[in-house]
Structure 1
Amino acid sequence: MIKVKVMRPIFHPYTEERDFVLYPYHIFHLRLFYRRLGMKDKVMDYFAYVDLYRLGAERGDDFIPLEEWNVDERKLMEPLVDYEEAEKKAFESAITWGNSRVVSWWLPRIEVVREEMAYKVFWIYERNGEKLIMDSLDGKEYSLSAMVGKNGRSCKGPFCR
């Protein structure tokens, strides 16, 4: 068993018999400092959720609440992206977002206020004889057989690359 930080699940399947897999993210709270000519400098906060499997970044409204879980290591998906790549992706995402809101001749100075490696929970369960997987943060359900396919090759869902 290993202790990990998990994004607090919002949605749960309506069944007691469920399993889960934990999907890796790095969460950043960044503060952007923009210098502006003839105007007061601008300071903005940015929350980046960097997918450590596919190297994508999403903007959040806040730092999501985290919980500590003791889990079997086999429940964890292995991150494919290291900290430096994740931080670079978060900075790029923050700059793109900030530059669309602030006019400045300079790139912003960026400060990391908080950062955490955490996992998103994907519930695995069965309903009416069909295996399903549910995203614990948005409640979307995916058919496991549609994701994996009969030959193990087709993929339509959150774990597809």
Structure 2
Amino acid sequence: MKTVKVMKPIFRPETESNFVLYPYRVYHLRLYYRRLGMSDRVFDYFAYVDLYRLGAERGEGFIELQKWEVDEKNVMEPLVDDEEARMKAFESAITWGNSRVISWWLPRIEVVRDELAYKVFWIFERDGTKIILDSLDGSEYSLDVLAGKGKRTCKGPLCR
């Protein structure tokens, strides 16, 4: 058994289910911009770095985390190390910050908080089909489709 921090699930299946924990590094960054002839600017930035595909998303805040005691087989191991994740978060923050302020200098960046956290993907069965449910946005995906064995079905707010 292993103790991990999990992003608090919003959506849960109504039936009995298993789960997989997908790795992220969550950052609260503070950007300090110097400006000529004007007051300096300070921004808070929240980055969610995918430790499997090295993508970064901006968040509105630091998501609530829960401690779970889980079997290690349910936890996906990160493919991205801490330094790569930090650089991706900084890159994302600078791109966002530079679109909001004009400065001759790159910002000084302070890491206020960072955590290794896992997003829950629920796995359950409905009408004989195995389904994966994203615990944060409610999207559902057929496991057969993801494995390349069936027709595409997707239910949820972010399905296209």
Q: Secondary structure at the match of 2:119?
A: strand
**Per-residue deviation, 1:156:** 9.9
Q: Percent identity?
A: 72
Distance 1:156 1:34, change over 3 A: farther
Tell me which residue corresponds to 1:54.
53
**Cα-to-partner distance string for 1:65-120 (whole Å, 9 max, x where unaligned):** 00000000000111000000000000000000000000101000000000000100
Aligned residues of 1:146 and 1:156 also touching (Cα < 8 A)? yes
> 2 CA distance for matches of 1:112 and 1:150?
44
Name the CA distance, whole Å, in 2 between partners of 1:150 and 1:34.
51
Give a deviation string over 1:107-149, Cα, whole Å, max 9, x none. Answer: 0000000000010000000111110001100000000000012
In structure 2, the residue matched to 1:9 is: 9
Aligned twin of 1:124 = 123
Query: Matched residue of 1:106: which SS?
Result: coil
Could you say which residue in structure 1 is the equivalent of 2:65?
66
Measure how far apart 1:29 and its partner are: 0.2
Structure 1 residue 150, shift from structure 2 partner: 2.8
C-alpha distance in 2, partners of 1:22/1:66? 13
CA distance in 2, matches of 1:142, 1:20: 14
In 2: Cα distance, 1:128 partner to 1:25 partner: 32
Question: Taking structure 1 as reference, are residues 42 and 156 closer, same or farther at Cα in structure 2, changes over 3 Å only?
Answer: farther
| SS of residue matched to 2:61 | coil
Asked whether the 8 Å contact 1:147–1:156 carries over to 2, the reply is no
* Aligned 1:68-87 pairs, distance under 5 A: 68-87=67-86
Distance 2:149 2:112 in 1: 46
Q: Secondary structure at the match of 2:88?
A: helix
CA distance in 2, matches of 1:128, 1:156: 13
- In the alignment, the residues of structure 2 paired with residue 113 and residue 78 of structure 1 have an alpha-carbon distance, to the nearest angstrom, of 25
Q: Which runs of 5+ in 1 are unaligned?
A: none
Unmatched tracts of structure 2, length 5 or more: 155-160
TM-score for the superposition, normalised by structure 2: 0.93
- Structure 1-normalised TM-score? 0.92
> Aligned partner of 1:130: which letter?
T
> Which residue of 2 is the match for residue 32 of structure 1?
31
The count of residues paired between Structure 1 and Structure 2 equals 153
Runs of 4+ in 1 over 3 A off after TM superposition: none
Which whole-Å CA distance do the structure 2 matches of 1:124 and 1:40 have between them?
51
